[in-house]
Amino acid sequence: MSMVNSQDGIKGKSLVELAVQLEASVREAARDGKSLYEMEKTTFERVLQIGHAAIEQLLVLQGDGDLGPSVVTADDRQLKRSEELVERPLRTVFGEHTIRAYVYAAGAHEAIEVRPVDARLSLPRGKCSYFFEEFSQYFCVDQAFGQASQGLATVLRQEVSVDTLEHINRRMGGQAEAFLDQLPTPPAKEEGELLAFTADGKGVPLVKADAQRVPAFEKAERPGNRRMATLASVYTIDRYVRTPEQIVAALFRDDTRPRPKDRPHPRFKHVTARFTRIREEPDGEQWESNGTIEAFCWANEQIGLRRRPGQKVLRLMDGQASVSVYYSARSRDGSPAGPRV
C-alpha cells in the first residue's frame, strides 16, 4: 500500500480516531491469530498515517499567515500581502503536504520575501523539511542516489526523485565546512586516553562537465573521471590491550574465536574532506589551495585544541605518496602541511 493511496482513507479523521483504529486493529490481530510480520507491517502503515495527520493538523493550526494588508521589513521597506492564499508544497517523513497561506512581496509580480507561516515553523526554502533532508541522507551517504530513492520508497512509502535527493545532498554538503568550524572542543574529561590522527585519499566520481577539465590529482594520474579528495580525521580513544592470539585472529578474520565485548570506541570523531581548489582574494587575485595541505592544517588545529600535556598521538596513514609527502614536509621544515605529532 503506497503512502499516497493510504492517505485517501484518513482525510478528515482526527488523531484520536486514527489511534482508536490502530488499537482496534491490534485487538483484531490478536483475536484472529495474525502473524507478527503481518501486524508489524500494518501497524507501520498506520503510524505513517497518524504522523501525516499530525503534521496536517499542525499546519492548519498555524492559520493563514495574514499579518495585515502590508508589513514593514527591518530595512524599512513595505511589502504587500498577496491577494489570495498561495500554495506551497512541503514534504515530511510522513508524506506530502500543502501549505495555503498569504505571503508578502514588494509587488504583485515581485519575488516573495516573507512567508509568515514558513517563518513561524522555521521551514527551509526548499520543498522538503529539515528532518526529511536529514533522514534521506542516511540513505544517500553510503549508496547511489537511485538506490537511496528505492530505499525511501520501501521505508517511507514515498516516491522521491533522484534529482531531489541530489539537490538536498548538495545543499547540505555546502554547509559541512561551516558546521565543522563551529563544532565545540570536546570536554577534556570525556576524551579518550590516546589522540589519533588519520588521513587518506578518496576518489570522487565527477559529473561529465567536470570530468573533462579536472585531473584526478595534481599530476593527472587518473584524468577524466574522478578527482581525489583528502580525508582527515581526529579523535580520541582508550587503549585496547590484546593478546598476540587475539591480534592474529583479527588479522585473519578468525570467526571461531569469541570477539571481545569491551573494545573501546572512538570519541568525538571529527572528519573533514578537502579538494584542491581555486581561491579568490578580495582584490580579485586567484591562487590554488592544495586540498591535502588544507586537510592537514585543519587536523593540526584540532590536535592543538584537544591534545593534553604529555598525551600520546597516533598517526594512522597508508603509504600513498600524494598524501604522506605533505606530512613529511611538515615534519622536516615546520611548514603548515600537516600535524606535528
- Evaluated on CA atoms 216, 219, 221, 224, the torsion sign reads positive
Max CA pair span of the chain: 78
Cβ atoms of residues 206 and 214 within 8 Å = yes
Distances in Å between the Cα of 23 and the Cα atoms of 14, 20, 46, 236, 336 are 14, 5, 10, 48, 64
Q: What is the 3-state secondary structure (H, E, C) of 156-181?
A: HCCCCCHHHHHHHHHHHHCCHHHHHH
pLDDT of residue 250: 82
User: Are residues 64 and 102 in contact, defined by beta-carbon separation less than 8 angstroms?
Assistant: yes
DSSP secondary structure string for all residues of 183-228 = PPPPPGGGS-SEEEEEEEEEEEE--HHHHTT--SSTT-SSTTTEEE
Rounded Cα distance between 106 and 311, Å, is: 60
pLDDT at residue 99, as a whole number: 97
Q: 279 near 289, Cβ under 8 Å?
A: yes
Q: State residue 220's pLDDT score.
A: 47
pLDDT in tens, the chain (341 residues): 334 344 555 566 889 999 999 999 999 999 999 999 999 999 999 999 999 999 999 999 999 999 999 999 999 999 999 999 999 999 999 999 999 999 999 998 899 999 999 999 999 988 999 999 999 999 998 889 999 999 999 999 999 999 999 999 988 888 887 888 888 999 999 999 999 999 988 877 766 555 555 554 555 445 556 778 889 999 999 999 888 888 888 888 777 767 777 889 999 999 988 888 888 888 888 888 888 888 999 999 999 999 999 999 999 988 766 666 555 554 444 444 444 44
